[in-house]
A = this chain, B = another copy of it.
């Protein structure tokens, strides 16, 4: 009998855990991703705010799996899946499979307003992050040269839409750039006069956290000079500003942190999905009608909601890999117990030395929260070198208020 073929689509947290769970099986595993690197998404906002470099939070998928001899890696974008013939068709190759794991994550959702994307980029890939970095830095550069007060004011206004952890982290980081990093760098503007707005449709920021932590984060951000508007809907987004009903705010640096939707995996399979495009999976994470296909992480939805965070994707990937490994070892293996998510906690950082952390009954805020957050993130970063580089960069930034990755590399200037 030939070795069973397992194809894993996506080299994020879920896909890599699935591959690892299969490392001792007799399967031939192929991990396919449209990027050559795994991205540590929890720190993307630090790339977007010029703290660290893209390579500090990215690692070649090949390098991660180099020692797992039953795994090979393919660079390619999925075009379709033939579930009858059991073949994945990518732009670079076609891959037959006996088992398939879909771990393709999410992209931004503009709630039907796809035209807003160019004006308000989201933050899901390294390309997104460097684009936002360029826009933020460029706003200060252009404000320095502005000829009239209205231009200057618009260019020194930064709007973050969405008050979840990403929005909170972006708002805090941009406030620090304006108030501290750039403080002495300009001659015609005072970067400390920049206006930073965090807009949230719900009644409070960080809705997934306990109310007291939301309140703490709000108070901390206000102290840093961030204006927070809750219960406020963005009704229009243009390249030069946002509308909040009648109210217009002029800005050319708008960041979208308000919503996500799943990749088109449900369409590839013709499977049933929820409103956000996530596949409704069985208790064992298999796709209904396809016991050989699993969906994990943000691509899947279960009866009880699971947060779209790295630990959840890892748990689901590991579970799916283990179920497949058991079936490969024994075709008649009994049905495994349904996947059960264990929530470890919630973390969000607010600024240079402040974070909010919720772990079971433990709640941490301020500097202690920030220390916990830093250690946790460095611990989970893949690769010893990146851990050291990021730790050193943070220490250096903490001491000097400087940022080491202030690069405008994209031709994002108007007219260029």
Measured CB to CB, the residues of A under 8 A from B are 35-37, 53-56, 58, 60, 62-63, 66-67, 72-76, 91-93, 126-127, 130, 137-138, 141-142, 144-145, 182, 184-188, 383, 385-386, 388-389, 392-393, 396, 400, 402, 404-409, 413, 415
16 new A-B contacts at CB < 8 Å, known A37-B408, A75-B408, A385-B393:
A36-B408, A53-B55, A55-B407, A60-B185, A60-B406, A62-B182, A63-B185, A66-B184, A73-B185, A74-B145, A75-B138, A76-B145, A93-B145, A385-B404, A388-B396, A392-B392
Minimum CB–CB distance from A169 to chain B (whole Å) comes to 20
Q: Top 5 A-B pairs ranked by shortest CB distance?
A: A53-B53, A55-B405, A62-B185, A72-B187, A75-B141
Residue of B nearest to A35 (CB): B408
Please name all residues of chain B whose beta carbon is closer than 8 Å to the beta carbon of A35 when the two chains form the complex: 408
User: How many copies altogether?
Assistant: 2
Whole-angstrom CA separation of A406 from B35 in the bound complex? 11
Knowing A63-B402, A393-B385 touch, does A72 contact B188 (C-beta < 8 A)? yes
With beta carbons under 8 angstroms apart, the residue of B53, B126, B392 that contacts A54 is B53
With beta carbons under 8 angstroms apart, the residue of B67, B400, B404, B406 that contacts A36 is B406
Please name all residues of chain B whose beta carbon is closer than 8 Å to the beta carbon of A386 when the two chains form the complex: 404
Q: Which of A35, A92, A404 has the most CB of B within 10 A?
A: A404
Residue pairs across A and B with Cβ atoms less than 8 A apart, 8 shown, are: A36-B138, A37-B407, A37-B408, A62-B185, A62-B186, A63-B185, A72-B186, A93-B145
Knowing A126-B407, A126-B409, A408-B37 touch, does A389 contact B393 (C-beta < 8 A)? yes
